[in-house]
Amino acid sequence: MAQSIEYLQNQRWTEFRYFVDGGADGWEAFSISQDKAFRITEVRLHFSVAFASTEDLTARVSATKGSAFNYNFLSYPISAVSDVIIMYESNGLKFQSDDQVVFGMSMASGTNIYGLEVLGWAAYG
């Protein structure tokens, strides 16, 4: 599994792009976090072929304030789907500094190549 992050622009906020890819029976969880307040504006998922079994793409917040603040904000069925693009309106979903956003899916049913991209922005400072 390869993973990368890119920071773009020179402003009072910075855009980020997290990307993870891989294949086969494997992806269990992929998490992102920032050391400052941040927002997620778009989630993109691509499979090499349409997914054949019943699985869900999930995303949950592991809050820095404690487990009482944890919540799931995404649960998307991906049976017979090869592409998922989720765009959050306005400025995106807001998260506190050091919150951890965990994307998960089991992919236990067969070989498939995937790419997950998460776009957003974070404040400076």
What pLDDT does 29 receive?
A: 78
Could you tell me the fold of the domain covering 2-123?
Answer: Hypothetical Protein Tm1070; Chain: A (2.60.290)
Residues 6+ apart with CB under 8 A from 10: none
- How far apart CA 119 and CA 40 sit, in angstroms, is 6
* Dist. CA 86–CA 25, nearest whole Å: 24
pLDDT 10s digits, 35-69: 889 999 999 998 888 877 777 888 999 998 989 99
- Please, are residues 108 and 21 in contact by the beta-carbon 8 Å criterion? no
113 within 8 A of 47, measured Cβ to Cβ: yes
Both tokens of 73, joined, read: 């904000």
Instruction: Identify the band that residue 7 occupies on the pLDDT scale cut at 50, 70 and 90.
Output: low
Whole-prediction pTM: 0.81
- Centre a 10 Å sphere on the Cβ of residue 100 and count the other Cβ atoms it contains: 15
Per domain, the residue ranges of the chain are: 2-123
* Residue 2 β-bridge partners: 21
